[in-house]
Amino acid sequence: MLQPRRALRLALLALVLAGSGCSSLLFYPEPGQPLTPRAAGLDYRDVELRAADGTRLHAWWLPAKAGQEVRGTVLHLHGNGGNLAWHLGGSWWLPEQGWQVLLLDYRGYGLSEGSPALPEVYGDLEAAFAWLEAEPAVRGKPLAVLGQSLGGALAVRFLAQQRERRGQVSALVLDGVPASYREVARHMLGSAWLTWPLQVPLSWLVPDGDSAVEAMPQLQGLPVLIYHSRDDALVPLANGLRLYRAAAPPRLFQPTRGGHVQTFAEPAWRALMLRFLADPQAAGGLAESSPDEISR
């Protein structure tokens, strides 16, 4: 459940920004770099990117483990809180399996300059794609995108708008992604007594034009694997189901258990993602149960 203090903060922030349509409601960045991938025993290098507007961005490049055949590259787009150091748990395991990773911090996060807002953050995704396009280690291998929480919603909207970049992606993996920013805000506001009476009017202050569910049908032909936890208290399971139903085949929905975007703490879900990346077009054949059965 949303803590009362956090709910009050969201309510007051929404009131301050009333009528502005300010997308800063979506972003909660943390500056600095509390740890590096070496804390997890990983080789890495710092990468500096430049967005088209000149904003300097920071990312980590995690090469495939020495001795492993390079199978491809994963662009990891993290959620709306903290910075990339907080989200290493989503992709630390991929280099050992032969997948190299670019983990991006959006503007205002970690060591990246600027302040996060839409549509400027889409320029950060474009900078990541441009870097990957120029990186020799990436060429000739599959490129997949892993979007967790807000990062998944950003990925869906970006790829729907940028057909050329969409054509470069072999597979999309979504984990705990909100289908609608406004509906998630309503859920959060409704989970605390302090903001429950205001959940509907305040949620309408959250910009929803870039929500993922409206863009999903435009990703036709791109294989999608969607994870969502039955226990997710921040972004309820219904969000993942809505995204699955809005997506065109090939697609796969996998329900999980545990907290928000804690999916890859479970070896079985890491193994499923690896099978999906190896043959994305066969996504439907990996399903264990249908979304209709899950939602009953």
pLDDT band at 180 (very low <50, low <70, confident <90, very high): confident
Dig out the tokens for 188 from the structure: 């959060």
Distance between CA atoms of residues 149 and 153, nearest Å: 7
Q: What residues form DSSP beta bridges with 146?
A: 76, 173
Q: What residues form DSSP beta bridges with 140?
A: none
* Fold (topology level) of 24-278: Rossmann fold (3.40.50)
3-class DSSP state of 228: strand
Q: Which phi and psi (to 5°) does residue 234 adopt? A: -95, -45
Dig out the tokens for 40 from the structure: 């997890």
pLDDT for res 86: 95
Q: What residues form DSSP beta bridges with 269?
A: none
Q: Kindly report the average pLDDT of the chain as a whole number.
A: 86
C-alpha neighbours within 13 Å on the C-beta side of residue 290: 4
89-129 pLDDT, tens digit per residue, is 999 999 999 999 999 999 999 999 999 998 999 999 999 99
pLDDT for res 234: 87
Q: Which phi and psi (to 5°) does residue 41 adopt? A: 75, 25
**Residue environment code for 165-184, b if the CB has 16+ CB neighbours within 10 A, otherwise e:** bbeebbbbbbbbbbbbbbbb
Cβ pair 78, 90 in contact under 8 A = yes
Q: Which of 6-20, 70-84, 209-223 has the highest mean pLDDT?
A: 70-84
Number of H helices, E strands in the chain: 10, 10
Q: Which phi and psi (to 5°) does residue 252 adopt? A: -145, 130
Cβ pair 219, 30 in contact under 8 A = no
Distance between CA atoms of residues 81 and 162, nearest Å: 25
pLDDT band at 2 (very low <50, low <70, confident <90, very high): very low
Q: Find the angle CA(183)-CA(276)-CA(162) to the nearest 5 degrees.
A: 55
The model's pTM: 0.87
pLDDT for res 276: 97
28-65 pLDDT, tens digit per residue, is 899 999 999 999 999 999 999 999 999 999 999 999 99
Dig out the tokens for 168 from the structure: 């470069």
Helix residue spans in 42-119 (DSSP H): none
Dig out the tokens for 17 from the structure: 């920004």
Dig out the tokens for 287 from the structure: 């399903």
